[in-house]
């Protein structure tokens, strides 16, 4: 039997008081506890009383036992928690929380003020997710009796991807634990002693000089604005959050993406998805929004006329492709299917190929040697390929891409594709079949790969391509017993389709340049 | 391997021959305290001398009265050893020459004799006022035997306890330790037998025992002295403990600042192995056990058991929340016993003697004896051992000889930096776990600092808190931030900037830190503040309300002034003042310029007429030009 606040509650042996309280909707303020991390017991916000024990016990490390009688709210507990919280705030730039004008300020001062130094919540990039503010509200906190102390630590902005302002750090140790226990990296550690204790790398090295993976897990678990991803600051509450699967490699990491103004503004590992505990990579965590929000995206279909590529609409572009297909025998046509397509698009390509009796289906760069061998005249590729001008037999090139990648300048038709964050479907990963969710709209006329195939098929009067949703394609695949395959893209592959990620994401370039010498992975 | 009895017989013979030998023997107290006092040059001098006069020189540990060091003992055949105190190299040579050559024992210079027989005019050392009220059980061998010679230890009944234990069932060993009432000497006073029992009862077969030799309290040196004077006692206790709980590996966690202690341990471990007292199949009992030494970097918090375990595992010395206790999940996640040096050092005698022998010392709940380092403003400082339950009066006035310069006795601080300050009114209370807790102090590892009337309690609390907040591991909020705020408040008060609301804040902080902190360091950190605030509230009020430091210690609250009546105009102060703050003509009263004075105290200490006074700043209206 377990009693919390006078009520008998169901419990499971081996769980902590905090876990049981949460399961039963009993609020206990916490700052260092995090559901993905081993408990630490540092913030002392979760203090409760256990009947028969003299002092207070912290709920986040104390395991429940049969017969335990727990009190989570009392005057004495409140006094202790408030006092501890007051101590935390005495070393955190929290003036905005105490400010008498805070309500007005929040209402009329739209947007966070960008500032080099964070002096309060209204200059803090993480204001909206800040857990201190939530607790402050819950405790209805209004004053601090202790002198305020600003640590005057240098703000660390000399690394790619994320900034660190340890003047905001409350020493909850989440970043230290996630780095050590989840990422297995141990880059972040506690340094110094006593009141000078701080979190950081050993010897205060920049992260780029350590073995930091820039997985961003530390940023994601930080309850304050101490750690912030540089490219996703200042956007306040997102309009929407959508979870999807990263397609940049076969690992199949799930992300939750913040959407604002129709663009991806930030992302973090999907908290609902446990397989992430094997670690996530910098490409997914930090590069995606910068990569895919990029201005260099292909936005309009183009057709070559008089040696120049002119923008056009989809009907004309599809008709052009159809025309090319009709003008060449299938044996002289080849399809290059990029590993970065969702399973449904991949299937539709193989389907159209078989309908048109095209047998030259290439899936890797090595397959390209067949162009010369077989005297291929038409190449329809779904990713930019290098040195296409070297294949003398090629007469027509159709490029379906997200970016104006290699081969763009030799193409006869350009088909702008939606990125995987702009379409719905499934992909097969190391974790099995996972869903891809449409997070944002594709830019301008860019279209999902499978829709482009369907359009071309229509132009060719092929039947069996009239799909409205990918779920219908999935249904057909299931009926035919066709399964997606993992695509053989390993974690440290540097491209998305035909484009080097580093070309579009400057911070990533800094990283791989810096690590080239010593980090064999990249 | 020779059997134990033969080993002991040989050891006894070698010990006896040391006393029966023709060649005189010099015993030199060469523990760290003796070395700090300058015993090594004395030893050098005597080594030189030994080229002329045949002599054996033996380095022993600390015999207790540190204020008398360097101490040497001279033994000639058939006579008791004579101890001489405060010896310097030349003087030592004279002492030896006078005694050995001229046969003059110089009773006026001796402090006592050790051993059988009497020498005219010299009392037995055991009758020395600092020694006679002590009961030396753990310290029995310290200063007597050569700690580097296992034969000496064996001759003093060493390893008899282990032999007995190995003949018993482990459960019975634990039972016996429980019967003795032995409680942990490292601080919390947890019953040792019970701790062993818990650990033994854990299902996990792999178990460890750790000797906590971190001793981080500034000013405490009990453990160091014991290790340096009698390392085998501690190690024997450890082997017994290991046998009792079923551990096959032990760690000695010793701070790296104790090089001599580490050296003693290393030599002792090597000797034990050679004698079959450690390693495989100890004394043919089938029990195997090995000990590794781990050096700690010397952080105070690393003495806390979970931090110590983290440190042994190569992690940052940061405590973690208990439970699980080390007895459940200790080093490498395995059940582990952690015991203090003194606890383990007491175990052999408990196994060797009848249970009732040990329980005759101490109080109902605090059995046996405890060592204390007696320091501060007391006449006789040093390492003492008394039965638990001895009164403060006995310790301070009988053993310690009273307050230095016969000043007023104000308080004692017991239990190290996070102990409590007990005022003189409680002089007849006793030193034992229960009483100390009742008074707001803790046993800690047994540091006793005597405080006289010249000490300001605000300054004292500030000093301890300064140490504690710098030694906090920084993990939990109440300790890391709270202690800093508490310290800042004390600093503010000591500067005369406090206000009446600060009392509430002090109490609030003390509550939050003691109730909210994760480990013992934080939980006990406010003790000096709580106790001084309870017992010396008026002194705080003087600082806060009247802006006066009654003890004239807080520099911002007093001024130096020359008493014109007393000043003889010797000009000494004027010449010595480092900032030229003093003016005055020869034979005329001198004057101190308050604004220039940096309060270095030089004038005051050097004034032959004692004409320089400290006056409350508030009593003077400073007219600035
Ligand atoms: C901050 C702190 C410092 C400590 N330092 C020591 C120490 O130096 N030596 C020691 O034996 N115990 C020390 N302890 C106590 C240990 O945690 C532990 O209780 C003790 O070693 C257990 O041994 P015992 O049962 O023999 O006393 C310390 C505790 C705290 C909280
Ligand atoms: S982290 Fe940012 S939002 Fe949160 S309290 Fe600190 S300054 Fe305010
Ligand atoms: S980015 Fe990842 S590897 Fe780098 S410090 Fe943060 S958690 Fe550790
Ligand atoms: S940086 Fe953030 S996550 Fe890390 S300890 Fe500080 S507040 Fe916690
Ligand atoms: S009480 Fe102090 S020393 Fe102990 S865990 Fe907390 S911060 Fe560290
Ligand atoms: S206390 Fe020092 S500075 Fe002040 S007057 Fe005396 S000697 Fe000079
Ligand atoms: S949540 Fe329990 S101590 Fe931080
Ligand atoms: S000024 Fe305080 S919240 Fe705006």
User: For residue B607, which ligand has an atom nearest its CA?
Assistant: 6
In a shared domain, residues A226 and A325: no
Nearest CA to ligand 2 atom 8: A121
Note whether A396 contacts B: Cβ–Cβ < 8 A.
Answer: no
Structure confidence by residue, pLDDT tens digits, B145-173: 999 999 999 999 999 999 999 999 999 99
DSSP secondary structure, A89-120, as one string: HTTS--HHHH-TTHHHHHHHS-SPPP-SS--S
In a shared domain, residues A61 and A174: no
Structure confidence by residue, pLDDT tens digits, A278-337: 667 899 889 999 999 988 999 999 999 988 999 999 999 999 999 999 999 999 999 999
Helix B192-201 with B231-245: angle, nearest 10 deg: 40
Structure confidence by residue, pLDDT tens digits, A355-377: 999 999 999 999 999 999 999 99
Number of A–B residue contacts, CB under 8 Å: 101
> Is residue A264 within 8 Å of residue A284, measured between CB atoms?
no
pLDDT at residue B622 in the model: 63
Ligand 2 within 6 A of CB of A129:
no
pLDDT at A276 over 60: no
**Ligand 3 center from residue B112 Cα (angstroms):** 67
Structure confidence by residue, pLDDT tens digits, A234-268: 677 789 999 999 999 998 889 999 999 899 988 88
Structure confidence by residue, pLDDT tens digits, B238-277: 999 999 999 999 999 999 999 999 999 999 999 999 999 9
Whole-angstrom Cα distance, residue B600 to residue B476?
38
Ligand 4 within 6 A of CB of A171:
yes
Q: Alpha helices, DSSP H only, in B353-456?
A: 355-359, 392-393, 433-438
Whole-angstrom Cα distance, residue B617 to residue B547?
8
User: Distance between terminal CA atoms of chain B?
Assistant: 88
In a shared domain, residues A436 and A321: yes
Structure confidence by residue, pLDDT tens digits, A76-126: 999 999 999 999 999 999 888 888 888 888 777 766 666 677 888 888 888
Whole-angstrom Cα distance, residue B362 to residue B430?
10
User: How far does the CA of residue B329 sit from the closest CA of chain A (Å)?
Assistant: 14
- Taking all residues of chain A, what is their mean pLDDT, rounded to a whole number? 92
**Judging by DSSP bridges, how do beta strands B290-296 and B249-255 pair with one another?**
parallel
Residue A457 located in a structural domain: yes
**Judging by DSSP bridges, how do beta strands A333-336 and A360-362 pair with one another?**
parallel
Cross-chain Cβ contact B480/A193 below 8 Å: no
Q: What is the DSSP-derived secondary structure letter of residue B279?
A: B
Note whether A41 contacts B: Cβ–Cβ < 8 A.
Answer: yes
Nearest CA to ligand 4 atom 6: A169
In a shared domain, residues A443 and A352: yes
Burial class (CB in 10 A: 0-12, 13-18, 19+), B533: buried
Residue A30 located in a structural domain: yes
Whole-angstrom Cα distance, residue B77 to residue B80?
8
Report all structural domains of chain B as residue ranges with CATH numbers, in order of start.
17-125 (3.40.30.10), 159-357 (3.40.50.11540), 369-452 (3.10.20.600), 457-546 (1.20.1440.230), 555-619 (3.30.70.20)
Whole-angstrom Cα distance, residue B500 to residue B504?
8
* Of B259, B281, B277, B280, residue with least CA distance to B268: B277
* Of A87, A23, A28, A35, residue with least CA distance to A223: A35
Site from A14, A37, A55, A84 to mutate, B interface, most B CB atoms within 10 angstroms: A84
**Ligand 5 center from residue A79 Cα (angstroms):** 20
Which segment of A7-11, A18-22, A114-118, A433-437 scores lowest on mean pLDDT?
Answer: A114-118
Structure confidence by residue, pLDDT tens digits, A386-439: 998 899 999 999 999 999 999 999 999 999 999 999 999 999 998 899 999 999
pLDDT at B279 over 90: yes
Residues 6+ apart with CB under 8 A from B89: B41, B42, B44, B45
Which chain B residues touch A39 with a CB distance below 8 Å?
321
User: How far does the CA of residue A58 sit from the closest CA of chain B (Å)?
Assistant: 9
pLDDT at residue A271 in the model: 79
> Is residue B70 within 8 Å of residue B39, measured between CB atoms?
yes
In a shared domain, residues A158 and A220: yes
User: Distance between terminal CA atoms of chain A?
Assistant: 55
In B517-576, the residues whose Cβ lies within 8 Å of chain A are 517-518, 523
CATH of the domain at A33: 3.10.20.740
Structure confidence by residue, pLDDT tens digits, B420-465: 999 999 999 999 999 999 999 999 888 999 999 999 999 999 999 9
In a shared domain, residues A312 and A427: yes
In A457-516, the residues whose Cβ lies within 8 Å of chain B are none
Which segment of A107-116, A437-446, B400-409, B554-563 scores lowest on mean pLDDT?
Answer: A107-116
In a shared domain, residues A333 and A461: yes
pLDDT at residue B624 in the model: 53
In a shared domain, residues A54 and A121: no
How many CB atoms are located within 10 Å of the residue B108 CB? 7
Atom of ligand 2 nearest to the CA of A225: 1
| Res. A29 pLDDT band, cuts 50 70 90 | very high
Q: Residue A216: what are its φ and ψ, rounded to 5°?
A: 75, 5
Can you say whether the dihedral through the CA atoms of B43, B49, B51, B53 is positive or negative? Answer: negative
In a shared domain, residues A454 and A331: yes
Ligand 4 within 6 A of CB of A199:
yes
Structure confidence by residue, pLDDT tens digits, B82-117: 999 999 999 999 999 999 999 999 999 999 999 999
Strands (E), B343-488: 369-376, 382-387, 390-391, 409-414, 420-423, 430-431, 447-452
Which chain B residues touch A88 with a CB distance below 8 Å?
477, 481
Q: Of A15, A49, A73, at which residue does a domain stop?
A: A73
Burial class (CB in 10 A: 0-12, 13-18, 19+), B605: exposed
Cis? peptide before A3, omega within 30° of 0: no
Residue A517 located in a structural domain: no
Residue A196 located in a structural domain: yes
pLDDT at residue A180 in the model: 93
Which chain A residues touch B483 with a CB distance below 8 Å?
195
**Ligand 3 center from residue B120 Cα (angstroms):** 78
In a shared domain, residues A65 and A121: no
Domain tally, chain A = 3
**Ligand 5 center from residue B479 Cα (angstroms):** 6
* Of A193, A291, A209, A213, residue with least CA distance to A246: A291
Structural domain boundaries enclosing A38? 2-73
Q: Which of B514, B517, B525 to mutate to test the pocket of ligand 5 (most atoms within 8 A of CB)?
A: B517
pLDDT at B617 over 70: yes
In a shared domain, residues A227 and A149: yes
Structure confidence by residue, pLDDT tens digits, B480-504: 999 999 999 999 999 999 999 999 9
In a shared domain, residues A224 and A361: no
Ligand 4 within 6 A of CB of A224:
yes
pLDDT at B523 over 60: yes
Residue A497 located in a structural domain: no
Residue A17 located in a structural domain: yes
Residue A288 located in a structural domain: no
pLDDT at residue B330 in the model: 97
Ligand 8 within 6 A of CB of A105:
yes
pLDDT at residue B196 in the model: 98
Site from B479, B482, B515, B522 to mutate, A interface, most A CB atoms within 10 angstroms: B515
Q: Which residue of A has its CA nearest to B483?
A: A195
> Is residue B253 within 8 Å of residue B212, measured between CB atoms?
yes
Note whether B318 contacts A: Cβ–Cβ < 8 A.
Answer: yes
- Distances, alpha carbon A307 to alpha carbons A310, A333, A394, A398, in Å: 10, 22, 16, 15
CATH of the domain at A412: 3.40.50.740
**Ligand 2 center from residue B489 Cα (angstroms):** 26
Residues 6+ apart with CB under 8 A from B50: B56, B57
* Most distant CA pair in chain A, distance: 89
In A52-91, the residues whose Cβ lies within 8 Å of chain B are 55-56, 58, 61-63, 79-80, 83-84, 87-88, 90-91
Q: Which of B340, B350, B522 to mutate to test the pocket of ligand 1 (most atoms within 8 A of CB)?
A: B340
Residue A516 located in a structural domain: no
**Judging by DSSP bridges, how do beta strands A396-401 and A413-416 pair with one another?**
parallel
Q: Which of B184, B190, B196, B212 to mutate to test the pocket of ligand 1 (most atoms within 8 A of CB)?
A: B212
CATH of the domain at A233: 3.30.70.20
Note whether B319 contacts A: Cβ–Cβ < 8 A.
Answer: no
Residue B531, SS3 per DSSP: helix
pLDDT at residue A3 in the model: 97
Structure confidence by residue, pLDDT tens digits, A40-60: 999 999 999 999 999 999 999
pLDDT at residue B621 in the model: 74
Structure confidence by residue, pLDDT tens digits, B119-151: 999 999 999 999 999 999 999 999 999 999 999
Cross-chain Cβ contact B485/A147 below 8 Å: yes
How many CB atoms are located within 10 Å of the residue A139 CB? 15
**Judging by DSSP bridges, how do beta strands A57-58 and B420-423 pair with one another?**
unpaired
Ligand 2 within 6 A of CB of A169:
no
Whole-angstrom Cα distance, residue B515 to residue B530?
13
Whole-angstrom Cα distance, residue A16 to residue A38?
11
**Judging by DSSP bridges, how do beta strands B382-387 and B25-29 pair with one another?**
unpaired
Nearest CA to ligand 3 atom 8: A179
Whole-angstrom Cα distance, residue B509 to residue A122?
30
pLDDT at residue B509 in the model: 97
Cross-chain Cβ contact B516/A84 below 8 Å: yes
Note whether A124 contacts B: Cβ–Cβ < 8 A.
Answer: no
**Ligand 4 center from residue A223 Cα (angstroms):** 7
> Is residue B536 within 8 Å of residue B423, measured between CB atoms?
yes
Whole-angstrom Cα distance, residue B599 to residue B580?
12
Q: Which of A218, A222, A225 to mutate to test the pocket of ligand 4 (most atoms within 8 A of CB)?
A: A222
Which chain A residues touch B316 with a CB distance below 8 Å?
189-190
| Res. A518 pLDDT band, cuts 50 70 90 | confident
């Amino acid at each position: 039997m377990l009693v919390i606040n006078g009520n008998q509650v169901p419990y499971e042996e081996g769980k902590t008081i905090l876990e049981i309280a949460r399961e039963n909707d009993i609020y206990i303020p916490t700052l260092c506890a995090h559901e993905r991390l081993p408990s630490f017991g540092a913030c002392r916000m979760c203090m409760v009383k256990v009947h028969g024990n003299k002092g207070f016990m912290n709920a986040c490390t104390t395991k429940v036992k049969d017969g335990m009688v727990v009190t989570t709210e009392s005057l004495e507990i409140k006094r202790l928690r408030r006092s501890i919280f007051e101590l935390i705030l005495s070393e955190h730039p929290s003036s905005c929380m105490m400010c008498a004008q805070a309500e007005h300020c929040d209402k009329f001062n739209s947007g966070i003020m960008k500032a080099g130094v964070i002096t309060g919540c209204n200059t803090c990039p993480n204001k909206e997710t800040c857990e201190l503010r939530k607790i402050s509200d819950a405790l209805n906190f209004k004053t601090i009796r202790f002198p305020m102390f600003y640590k005057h630590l240098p703000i660390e902005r000399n690394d790619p991807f994320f900034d660190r302002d340890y003047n905001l750090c409350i020493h909850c140790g989440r970043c230290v634990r996630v780095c050590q226990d989840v990422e297995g990296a141990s880059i972040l550690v506690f340094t110094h002693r006593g009141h000078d204790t701080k979190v950081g790398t050993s010897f205060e090295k920049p992260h780029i000089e350590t073995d930091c993976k820039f997985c961003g897990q530390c940023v994601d678990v930080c309850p304050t604005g101490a750690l912030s991803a540089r490219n996703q600051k200042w956007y306040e509450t997102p309009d929407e959050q959508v979870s999807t699967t990263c397609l940049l490699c076969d690992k199949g990491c799930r992300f939750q993406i913040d959407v604002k103004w129709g663009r991806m503004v930030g992302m973090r590992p999907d908290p609902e998805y446990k397989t992430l505990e094997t670690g996530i990579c910098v490409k997914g965590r930090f590069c995606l929004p910068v990569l895919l929000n990029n201005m260099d995206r292909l936005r309009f279909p183009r057709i070559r006329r008089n040696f120049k590529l002119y923008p056009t609409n989809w009907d004309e572009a599809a008709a052009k492709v159809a025309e090319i297909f009709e003008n060449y025998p299938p044996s002289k046509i080849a399809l290059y299917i990029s590993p970065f397509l969702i399973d449904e698009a991949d299937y539709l390509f193989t389907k159209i190929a078989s309908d048109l009796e095209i047998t030259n289906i290439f899936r890797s760069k090595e397959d390209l040697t067949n162009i010369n061998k077989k005297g291929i005249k038409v190449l329809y590729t779904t990713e930019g390929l290098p040195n296409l001008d070297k294949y003398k037999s090629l007469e027509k090139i159709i490029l379906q891409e997200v970016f104006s990648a290699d081969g763009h300048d030799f193409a006869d038709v350009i088909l702008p594709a939606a990125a995987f964050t702009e379409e719905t479907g499934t992909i097969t990963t190391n974790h099995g079949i996972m869903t891809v969710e449409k997070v944002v709209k594709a830019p301008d006329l860019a279209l999902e790969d499978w829709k482009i195939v369907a359009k071309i098929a229509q132009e060719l009067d092929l039947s069996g391509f009239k799909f409205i949703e990918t779920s219908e394609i999935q249904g057909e695949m299931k009926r035919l017993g066709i399964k997606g395959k993992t695509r053989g893209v390993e974690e440290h592959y540097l491209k998305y389709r035909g484009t080097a990620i580093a070309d579009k994401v400057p911070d990533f370039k800094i990283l791989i340049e810096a690590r080239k010498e010593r980090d064999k992975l990249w | 391997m020779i059997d134990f009895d033969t080993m002991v017989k040989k050891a006894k013979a070698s010990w006896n021959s040391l006393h029966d030998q023709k060649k005189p023997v010099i015993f030199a107290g060469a523990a760290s305290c003796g070395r700090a006092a300058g015993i090594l040059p004395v030893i050098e001098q005597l080594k030189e001398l030994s080229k002329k006069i045949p002599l054996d020189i033996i380095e022993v540990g600390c015999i207790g009265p540190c204020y008398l060091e360097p101490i040497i003992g001279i033994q000639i055949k058939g006579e008791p050893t004579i101890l001489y105190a405060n010896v310097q190299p030349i003087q030592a040579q004279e002492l030896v020459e006078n005694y050995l050559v001229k046969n003059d024992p110089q009773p006026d210079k001796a402090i006592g004799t050790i051993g059988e027989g009497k020498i005219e005019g010299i009392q037995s050392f055991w009758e020395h006022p600092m020694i006679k009220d002590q009961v030396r059980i753990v310290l029995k061998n310290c200063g007597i035997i050569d700690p580097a010679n296992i034969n000496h230890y064996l001759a003093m009944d060493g390893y008899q306890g282990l032999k007995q234990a190995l003949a018993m069932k482990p459960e019975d060993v634990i039972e016996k330790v429980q019967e003795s009432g032995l409680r942990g000497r490292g601080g919390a006073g947890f019953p040792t037998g019970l701790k062993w029992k818990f650990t033994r009862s854990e299902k996990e077969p792999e178990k460890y025992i750790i000797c906590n030799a971190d001793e981080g309290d500034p000013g405490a040196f009990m453990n160091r002295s014991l290790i340096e004077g009698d390392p085998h006692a501690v190690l024997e206790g450890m082997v017994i403990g290991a046998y009792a709980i079923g551990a096959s590996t032990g760690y000695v966690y010793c701070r790296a600042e104790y090089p001599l202690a580490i050296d003693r341990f290393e030599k002792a471990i090597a000797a034990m192995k050679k004698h079959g007292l450690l390693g495989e199949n100890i004394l043919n009992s089938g029990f195997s056990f090995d000990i590794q030494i781990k050096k700690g970097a010397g952080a105070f918090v690393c003495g806390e058991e979970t931090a110590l375990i983290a440190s042994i595992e190569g992690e940052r010395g940061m405590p973690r929340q208990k439970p699980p206790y080390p007895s459940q999940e200790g080093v490498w996640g395995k059940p582990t016993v952690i015991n203090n040096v003194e606890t383990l050092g007491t175990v052999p005698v408990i196994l060797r003697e009848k249970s009732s022998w040990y329980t005759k010392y101490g109080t109902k709940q605090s059995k046996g004896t405890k060592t204390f380092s007696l320091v501060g403003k007391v006449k006789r400082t040093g390492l003492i051992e008394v039965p638990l339950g001895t009164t403060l009066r006995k310790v301070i006035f009988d053993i310690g000889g009273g307050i230095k310069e016969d000043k007023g006795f104000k308080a004692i601080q017991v239990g190290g930096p996070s102990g409590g300050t007990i005022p003189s009114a409680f002089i007849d209370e006793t030193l034992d776990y229960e009483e100390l807790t009742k008074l707001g102090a803790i046993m800690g590892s047994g540091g006793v600092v005597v405080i006289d009337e010249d000490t300001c309690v605000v300054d004292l609390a500030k000093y301890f808190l300064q140490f504690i907040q710098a030694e906090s591991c920084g993990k939990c909020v109440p300790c890391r931030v709270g202690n800093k705020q508490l310290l800042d408040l004390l600093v503010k008060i000591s500067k005369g900037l406090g206000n009446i609301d600060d009392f509430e804040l002090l109490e609030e902080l003390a509550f939050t830190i003691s109730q909210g902190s994760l480990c013992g360091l934080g939980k006990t950190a406010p003790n000096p503040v709580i106790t001084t605030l309870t017992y010396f509230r008026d002194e705080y009020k003087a600082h806060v309300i009247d802006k006066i430091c009654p003890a004239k210690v807080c520099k911002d609250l007093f001024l130096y002034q020359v008493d014109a009546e007393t000043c003889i105009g010797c000009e000494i102060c004027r010449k010595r003042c480092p900032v030229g703050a003093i003016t005055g003509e020869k034979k005329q009263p001198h004057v101190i310029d308050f604004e220039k004075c940096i309060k270095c105290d030089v004038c005051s200490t050097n004034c032959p007429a004692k004409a320089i006074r400290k006056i409350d700043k508030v009593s003077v209206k400073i007219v600035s030009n």
